[in-house]
Amino acid sequence: TISSFVPGVTTITATDTTSSMVLPQTAQVYFSQGQILRLNKSVDRQDVMIGDLLNYTVIVQNNTANDALLVKIADAIPGNFKYRRGSTRINNLAAPDPSGSRPLVFDLGTVPALDPGDVNGVADPGEPGYVSITYQLIVGSGASPGEYINTAVARDVCDQCLISNTAEAVVEVIL
């Protein structure tokens, strides 16, 4: 059994104990934190038109007693929607643009643990464990009428190492 209390990646090697020979095969092992964060996603309106500027919000809540480490939010924006450079705010403060384009990746680093004295057991605005990400998307000229879903999920040490639920916001492009 291999385990770790610290998230990260390690390489495992093996030795043949009868000959003390190191075996040439190695394996990378990813130690993730498991699903510890709660995400909510919203958009400022549901009916939109080509050229509209939309305000998206992703709320990240760590309602556990442990800091969430190496947190990245992967935000899969709809096709024909474009990120507006310079629009990212984290907890209402200007923040760097996300990396990537599909998905956008917001690197949060550490999301603090919930305050052990918290009365309601939920990280609320202004409390440890609560992070708000806002940004803007433009509905591009290639968008056709219909429903467009924008999803976000938190991950840590690898792209498949999900540490939250998947949150979504839906808009309808109309003529």
The two three-digit tokens of residue 113, written as one number: 């643990």
| Residue written as token pair 């949060």 | 108
Q: What is the pLDDT of residues 119-146, one digit of tens each?
A: 899 999 999 999 999 999 999 999 999 9
Specify the pairing of strand 8-12 against strand 27-31. antiparallel
Instruction: Name the residue among 69, 72, 64, 63 with its Cα closest to residue 4.
Output: 69
CB atoms within 10 A of CB 68: 25
Read off the pTM.
Answer: 0.86
Q: What is the pLDDT of residues 2-52, one digit of tens each?
A: 666 677 777 777 777 788 887 777 777 777 778 899 999 999 999 999 999
Say what the alpha-carbon torsion angle 32, 130, 93, 53 is, to the nearest 10 degrees. Answer: 90
